[in-house]
Amino acid sequence: MTSTTTPGAAPAPTSTAQRTTIAKALNAGMRAAMERDPKVLLMGEDIGKLGGVFRITEGLQKDFGEDRVIDPPLAESGILGTAVGLALRGYRPVVEIQFDGFVYPAFDQIVSQVSKMHNRSLGKLKVPMVVRIPYGGGIGAVEHHSESNESYFAHTAGLRVVSVSTTDDAYWMMQQAIASDDPVIFYEPKRRYHERGVLDLGGGVPDLADAPHRLDEAVVRTEGSDVTVLTYGPMVKVALAAAQAAELEDGPSIEVVDLRSLSPMDTDTIEASVIRTGRCITLSEAPTFTSIHAEMAAWVQEHCFYHLEAPVLRVGGYNIPYPPSRHEEVFLPDLDRVLHAVDTVLNY
Amino acid sequence: MSDEEVARPAAPNTLEGTQPDGTPARGAHEPPEKDITDGGPDMVQFLDGEGRRVPVTEVSSPYAAYLDDLDDEALKGMLRDLILVRRFDAEGFALQRQGELGLWPSLLGQEAAQVGAGRAMRPQDYAFPGYREHGVAWCKGVPPENLLGMFRGVNHGGWDSGEHNFHLYTIVIGNQMLHGVGYAMGVQFDGDYATGDPERDTAVMAFTGDGGTAQGDYNEALVFAAVKNAPVVFFVQNNHWAISQPNDKQFTVPPYRRADGFGFPGVRVDGNDVIASYAVSRAALERARSGGGPTLIEAFTYRMGAHTTSDDPTKYRISAEVDIWKKKDPIDRMRKYLLAEGIVDDDWLAAVEEEADELARRIRHACQTMPDPPHEEMFTYVYAEQHRLVEREAAEFAAYQAGFEDEGER
């Protein structure tokens, strides 16, 4: 099922609803999960006293102790590998990778062990862990700090891969990911950490059944009739801005689908949208070659072929190493590139 | 060829040898290791190659008390383990040669290291193996036929690791060392160590070979274990060959010495001496269970066979080296020892040989009658929860296969 919401737009405000940031919503989500289940523990470089380099875990070590908010030695494979052992012992580790480009030393543990343990044991073993990765560019960082490497993990069976774009999703999807019996690679759009939305934090530990969407469900963020933009994470905001700009100028009507989950992909929502609009653009910061873009485009042509008025266009990062930050402005897809692609598919 | 010809001079900076007080010697002026088949004076050994008890030395004395725990039944049990595990392994090799298994990694020569370690573990202790630890699996109660499934290609590990406290085999070298440390950290968080309750206090033993000591994960595991003072024992079977590479291409300082740099004790034990392997493992496990922290054990042993049935050791090593190690055979020396002590006799040995024959028959039958898994099972355990893509493909697969059945082609 899909619903129509806009990031930052308030659900019916209640007495406990407040404007908060994605960063604080993630923190609140982890706190709720830790209060709900004493087996949940956090592990990552500098996440204790410092609260992580982005302060996402701020205050949690103070409240839950050093055995539940663990500052491990600085070794990503070590962190992931020991998290596997902890999961086998019955814990639910939530691992923070400090930056996207630092996950590679742990790649082997994630794809060789974490993803396959349940399958290898014919269902007898579970490794219910979350790997949090602040990802994407736009913050003027040095190399290895701005990558969108979600395709590597979405390509690996056994892993769930999700990305959030709103405070609401940050809060609820974090808790859903931790509660999942499957390992979840949880992508956090770092340049959106401080964007605000209205979130009802209520009081006490929330009931996960109250989450507005399932963890693997896509959401139509704004409806449109001429072209579908399939996107997720930090680019949702860009897509919505493009839709709004087009609307203001009496231009084409753009529908924005926020995938939320990259694996599994909610292909029902994708197909329904593209069949309705007849045109499709994929949008993410990731280089387009053999990417989530490529999967979305292939899926649409395979399943919506007779409904398409134009080829699917991919708007993404160029197929180069993430460039020095002085190039970011033109490397990262922006509103103009989205509108240019919209014009292209409409004029096909 | 002579022994001299198989000696591989160590690299010039190898820190071999010890001071008269038993502490490791330091400095390049020390003579290089003369013979790779000689474990040196630091090695804990209680039985020599002829099965004679060697005098307790300063190096072995901390472990001698654990031999007192070994009554005649326990000693006989160990010899029985060695014989049965070797027979199981031989059957695995034969089954591969006959096309019943796709691959077999033989433990030939390493039985004593594994049985010593395995028998030192308590039921609650958790083992994280590589893929050659058939002897440890045996001691942990894993039915040996269950080890064959993954090598036959019917599964990726056919035993319930939680039931036996013996994790699935790990093929990527070194990954499991970190799993062991993480599990041990969980033991700490659960408070299941250092309580003084022998039924509760738990340790972890993580196994790898000498080749594994080069891996990043191995070294990270040692760092994490040291920092967390985790109740874990690293058991390195130095079998001298990482597939085709001798271990002077894996390290210049032997594994037991490297533990010092990580901040916990390392000990070299004669891995072909089952009682020494047992005693050293007991000491390390009890240290871990009681909160003393990690220990690294280097079992100095030898891989008598190929790395797996896929390689040919005659291409990379000389037979004289193998011949020397044949004389150090772990079963021969234990048999001689127990015969000389009057603990076993020929009748007992004949009964165990008969038991080994029966085991081999059982293994063979189990292997040959192991059913292929239903193909749809490929899709069953990919995720613990619903996953749209897998469900969709499983349904497509089922429909496609059903088409053939309709045509009577299957």
Residue A12 forms part of a structural domain: no
Query: Tell me, what's the pLDDT at A1?
Result: 38
Is-contact B116 B275, C-beta < 8 A? yes
A194 and A226 housed in the same domain: no
A 274-333 residues inside an 8 A Cβ radius of B: none
Which residues, 6+ apart, have CB-to-CB distance to B327 below 8 Å?
B49
Chain B partners within 8 Å of A108 (Cβ): 172, 175, 217
Taking the Cβ of residue B187 and every Cβ of chain A, the question of whether any pair is shorter than 8 Å is answered with yes
Is-contact A128 A180, C-beta < 8 A? yes
Cα–Cα distance measured from residue A268 to residue A281, given in angstroms and rounded to the nearest whole number? 17
Give me the count of residues in chain B.
410
A88 and A227 housed in the same domain: no
Closest CA to A316 of A238, A212, A202: A238
Using only the alpha carbons of chain B, give its radius of gyration: 23
A232 and A156 housed in the same domain: no
Domain that holds residue A292: 219-347
Predicted complex ipTM = 0.94
Asked whether the predicted pLDDT for residue B23 surpasses 60, the reply is no
A149 and A175 housed in the same domain: yes
Give the total number of structural domains in chain A: 2
What secondary structure does DSSP assign to B353-400, as a single string? HHHHHHHHHHHHHHHHTPPPPPGGGGGTTS-SS--HHHHHHHHHHHHH
Strands A40-44 and A69-70, by their bridges, are parallel
Cis previous bond, B32, omega within 30: no
A36 and A170 housed in the same domain: yes
In DSSP terms, B235 is beta-bridged to: B207, B297
Residue in A77, A91, A124 closest to B217 by CB:
A77
Is-contact A344 A309, C-beta < 8 A? no
pLDDT single digits (tens) A102-131: 999 999 999 999 999 999 999 999 999 999
Task: Name residue B251's amino acid.
Answer: F
Is-contact B15 B30, C-beta < 8 A? yes
Asked whether the predicted pLDDT for residue A154 surpasses 90, the reply is yes
Taking the Cβ of residue A267 and every Cβ of chain B, the question of whether any pair is shorter than 8 Å is answered with yes
Asked whether the predicted pLDDT for residue B11 surpasses 50, the reply is no
Which residues, 6+ apart, have CB-to-CB distance to A338 below 8 Å?
A229, A238, A239, A242, A281, A283, A315
Cα–Cα distance measured from residue A75 to residue A95, given in angstroms and rounded to the nearest whole number? 12
From the CB of residue A207, how many other CB atoms can be counted at a distance below 10 Å?
Answer: 9
Strands A219-222 and A254-258, by their bridges, are antiparallel
Q: Diameter of chain B by CA atoms?
A: 82
Query: Tell me, what's the pLDDT at B405?
Result: 76
Closest CA to A300 of A327, A325, A269: A269
A84 and A205 housed in the same domain: yes
- Of the candidates A209, A227, A251, which is a domain's last residue? A209
What secondary structure does DSSP assign to B106-129, as a single string? --TT-HHHHHHHHHHS-TT-EEE-
Give CA torsion, residues A293, A295, A300, A301, to 10 deg: 100
Quote the DSSP letter at residue A110. Answer: I
A 28-67 residues inside an 8 A Cβ radius of B: 41, 67
Query: Tell me, what's the pLDDT at B27?
Result: 44
Asked whether the predicted pLDDT for residue B75 surpasses 60, the reply is yes
Asked whether the predicted pLDDT for residue B54 surpasses 80, the reply is yes
Q: Do B182 and A83 touch (CB under 8 A)?
A: yes
Residue A123 forms part of a structural domain: yes
CATH code at A180? 3.40.50.970
Give me the count of residues in chain A.
348
Q: Do A81 and B170 touch (CB under 8 A)?
A: no
Cα–Cα distance measured from residue A241 to residue A258, given in angstroms and rounded to the nearest whole number? 14
Closest CA to A216 of A244, A179, A252: A179
Arithmetic mean of pLDDT over chain A? 95
A 112-131 residues inside an 8 A Cβ radius of B: 112-113, 116-126, 128
A3-7, A23-27, A62-66, B396-400: which has the minimum mean pLDDT?
A: A3-7
Quote the DSSP letter at residue B195. Answer: S
Residue A109 forms part of a structural domain: yes
Q: Do B182 and A86 touch (CB under 8 A)?
A: yes
**Residue B73 banded pLDDT, cuts 50, 70, 90:** very high
Residue in A41, A78, A160 closest to B220 by CB:
A78
pLDDT single digits (tens) A166-217: 999 999 999 999 999 999 999 999 999 999 999 988 778 999 999 999 999 9
Residue A193 forms part of a structural domain: yes
Average pLDDT over residues B220-237: 98
Q: Do B156 and A265 touch (CB under 8 A)?
A: no
Residue A68 forms part of a structural domain: yes
A175 and A223 housed in the same domain: no
Question: What is the least distance, in Å, from the CA of A91 to any CA of chain B?
Answer: 7
Q: How much of chain B exceeds pLDDT 90, in percent?
A: 86
Q: What six digits make up the tokens of B239?
A: 């079998």
Task: Name residue B235's amino acid.
Answer: F
Question: Looking at chain A, which residue has its C-alpha nearest residue B188?
Answer: A67
Strand order, beta sheet including B126-128: B126-128, B204-209, B232-238, B295-300, B266-270
In DSSP terms, B246 is beta-bridged to: B241
Query: Tell me, what's the pLDDT at B30?
Result: 47
Is-contact A86 B179, C-beta < 8 A? no
Residues B177, B112, B41: CA angle, nearest 5 degrees: 85
Is A210 or A9 the better-scoring residue by pLDDT?
A210
Q: How much of chain A exceeds pLDDT 70, in percent?
A: 96
Query: Tell me, what's the pLDDT at B36?
Result: 74
SS3 B104: coil
Query: Tell me, what's the pLDDT at A11?
Result: 53
Which residues, 6+ apart, have CB-to-CB distance to B294 below 8 Å?
B222, B225, B226, B229, B230, B231, B232, B233, B234, B264, B288
3-state SS record for A51-99: CCCCCCCCCHHHHHCCCCEECCCCCHHHHHHHHHHHHHCCCEEEEECCC
pLDDT single digits (tens) A276-296: 999 999 999 999 999 999 999
Which residues, 6+ apart, have CB-to-CB distance to A58 below 8 Å?
A27, A51, A52
Q: Do B381 and A126 touch (CB under 8 A)?
A: no
Strands A227-231 and A254-258, by their bridges, are parallel
Average pLDDT over residues B315-327: 91
Arithmetic mean of pLDDT over chain B? 92
**Residue B1 banded pLDDT, cuts 50, 70, 90:** very low
Chain B partners within 8 Å of A118 (Cβ): 381-384
Asked whether the predicted pLDDT for residue B15 surpasses 50, the reply is no
A178 and A299 housed in the same domain: no
A300 and A331 housed in the same domain: yes
Question: What is the least distance, in Å, from the CA of A317 to any CA of chain B?
Answer: 26
Query: Tell me, what's the pLDDT at B409?
Result: 53
Chain A partners within 8 Å of B153 (Cβ): none
Taking the Cβ of residue A249 and every Cβ of chain B, the question of whether any pair is shorter than 8 Å is answered with no
Question: What is the least distance, in Å, from the CA of B25 to any CA of chain A?
Answer: 31
Residue A9 forms part of a structural domain: no
Residue burial B282-295, b: 16+ Cβ < 10 Å; e: rest = bbbbbbbbeebbbb
Asked whether the predicted pLDDT for residue B6 surpasses 70, the reply is no
Question: Looking at chain A, which residue has its C-alpha nearest residue B191?
Answer: A67
- Of the candidates A209, A241, A269, which is a domain's last residue? A209
Cα–Cα distance measured from residue A328 to residue A182, given in angstroms and rounded to the nearest whole number? 35
Is-contact B41 B18, C-beta < 8 A? yes
Question: Looking at chain B, which residue has its C-alpha nearest residue A105?
Answer: B216
- The structure tokens 């289940």 sit at A37
A185 and A238 housed in the same domain: no
Average pLDDT over residues B383-410: 89
Query: Tell me, what's the pLDDT at B32?
Result: 45
Question: What is the least distance, in Å, from the CA of B119 to any CA of chain A?
Answer: 22
Enzyme catalytic residues of A: 145
Cα–Cα distance measured from residue B375 to residue B388, given in angstroms and rounded to the nearest whole number? 19
Chain B partners within 8 Å of A83 (Cβ): 182
Residue A14 forms part of a structural domain: no
Q: Pick from B188, B193, B381 the residue to mutate for testing the A interface (most A CBs within 10 Å).
A: B381
Which residues, 6+ apart, have CB-to-CB distance to B197 below 8 Å?
none
Q: pTM score, two decimals?
A: 0.93
A188 and A66 housed in the same domain: yes
3-state SS record for B40-74: CCCCECCECCCCCECCCCCCCHHHHHHHHHCCHHH
Strand order, beta sheet including A92-96: A69-70, A40-44, A92-96, A130-135, A184-189, A160-163, A261-263
Taking the Cβ of residue B28 and every Cβ of chain A, the question of whether any pair is shorter than 8 Å is answered with no
Residue in A41, A113, A125 closest to B161 by CB:
A125
Q: What six digits make up the tokens of B30?
A: 């020390």
Residue in A75, A181, A268 closest to B385 by CB:
A181
A78 and A131 housed in the same domain: yes
Average pLDDT over residues B154-170: 95
Cα–Cα distance measured from residue A225 to residue A314, given in angstroms and rounded to the nearest whole number? 19
CATH code at A338? 3.40.50.920
Q: What six digits make up the tokens of B72?
A: 């005649």
Query: Tell me, what's the pLDDT at B248?
Result: 87
Residue A152 forms part of a structural domain: yes
Asked whether the predicted pLDDT for residue B10 surpasses 60, the reply is no
SS3 B132: coil
- Of the candidates A159, A188, A209, which is a domain's last residue? A209
Residue in B157, B382, B386 closest to A121 by CB:
B157
